[in-house]
């Protein structure tokens, strides 16, 4: 235990705090089986004891913890809680991107999917969903760029796992975290969007 405490002295990671967090979380996964953890001060502390591997995953929750640290929008994790718990990055990415499409359907009332859904929601002439006033050239350009990001997310992260087995399409944890940050941005913009009435 002395070795662990010395190795995880936060002073050693001043220039690379993310390394400390990654090591702390990895060590805490193992320590959770004996009811211990390394706290943020680098000291050994009591923790809830995990009795199964599922409990280890839930208590350690490295990926979930990083999403919390980044302040990711709750709509991002709403659709992939179980996948995050199971640490299935492949499925978490798939479900989180499906969640973005579901939000667009809820806002617009559309039943479409993918690029067709984005086109229906963000048409140039009379969009159903507007992220800004959609009057000036800059606003219209921003609106079009936002729609392109939505199409890109669907084409890059939603469609491949829908049609390819996990063994042929993979995404790293770093890429998944960056995707979740992008999804968070998109959801925040949708928070402030206006929706054209169907009447």
Tell me the backbone φ, ψ of residue 193, rounded to 5 degrees: -75, 155
- In the block, tokens 């229906």 appear at 120
Q: What is the pLDDT of residue 131?
A: 97
Helices (H) and strands (E) in the chain, counts: 11, 4
Considering the domain architecture, whether residues 48 and 81 belong to the same structural domain is answered as no
* Residue 65 within any structural domain of the chain: no
Considering the domain architecture, whether residues 21 and 104 belong to the same structural domain is answered as no
- Average pLDDT of the chain is 86
Percent of the chain with pLDDT over 90: 45
Alpha-carbon separation of residue 14 from 17, 20, 44, 99, 162 (angstroms): 6, 9, 19, 37, 41
Residue 198 has pLDDT above 80, yes or no: no
Considering the domain architecture, whether residues 79 and 134 belong to the same structural domain is answered as yes
174, two tokens: 């770093």
Q: What is the pLDDT of residue 103?
A: 97
* Residue 67 within any structural domain of the chain: no
Q: What is the pLDDT of residue 45?
A: 87
SS3 71: coil
Q: What is the number of structural domains in the chain? A: 2
Instruction: Enter the pTM of the model.
Output: 0.71
Residue 100 has pLDDT above 70, yes or no: yes
Q: What is the pLDDT of residue 67?
A: 87
Considering the domain architecture, whether residues 51 and 147 belong to the same structural domain is answered as no
Residue 31 has pLDDT above 90, yes or no: no
172-195 pLDDT, tens digit per residue, is 888 999 999 999 999 999 999 999
128-161 pLDDT, tens digit per residue, is 999 999 999 999 999 999 999 999 999 998 877 6
Q: What is the pLDDT of residue 75?
A: 96
Considering the domain architecture, whether residues 160 and 101 belong to the same structural domain is answered as yes
35-91 pLDDT, tens digit per residue, is 888 888 889 988 788 787 777 666 556 677 788 888 999 999 999 888 886 667 888
- In the block, tokens 């939505």 appear at 150
Domain range enclosing 20: 2-60
Q: What is the mean pLDDT of residues 117-122?
A: 96
Number of residues that this document lists for the chain = 199
Q: What is the pLDDT of residue 145?
A: 97
Residue 33 has pLDDT above 90, yes or no: no
Considering the domain architecture, whether residues 121 and 29 belong to the same structural domain is answered as no
Q: Is the Cβ–Cβ distance between 91 and 148 less than 8 Å?
A: no
Considering the domain architecture, whether residues 20 and 108 belong to the same structural domain is answered as no
11-29 pLDDT, tens digit per residue, is 988 888 767 777 777 787 7
* Residue 24 within any structural domain of the chain: yes
């Amino acid at each position: 235990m002395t070795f662990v405490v010395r190795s995880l002295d936060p002073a050693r990671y001043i220039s690379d705090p993310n390394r400390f967090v990654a090591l702390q979380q990895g060590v805490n996964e193992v320590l959770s089986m004996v009811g211990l953890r390394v706290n943020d001060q680098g000291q050994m502390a009591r923790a809830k004891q995990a009795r199964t591997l599922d409990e280890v995953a839930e208590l350690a929750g490295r990926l979930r913890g990083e999403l919390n640290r980044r302040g990711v929008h709750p709509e991002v994790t709403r659709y992939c809680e179980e996948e995050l718990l199971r640490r299935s990055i492949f499925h978490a990415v798939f479900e989180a991107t499906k969640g973005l499409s579901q939000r667009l359907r809820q806002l617009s009332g559309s039943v479409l999917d993918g690029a067709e859904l984005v086109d229906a929601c963000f048409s140039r002439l009379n969009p159903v969903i507007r992220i800004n006033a959609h009057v000036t050239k800059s606003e219209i350009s921003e609106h079009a760029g936002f729609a392109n990001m939505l199409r890109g997310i669907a084409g890059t992260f939603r469609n491949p796992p829908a049609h390819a087995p996990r063994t042929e399409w993979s995404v790293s944890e770093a890429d998944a975290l960056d995707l979740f940050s992008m999804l968070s941005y998109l959801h925040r913009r949708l928070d402030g969007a206006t929706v054209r009435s169907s009447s």
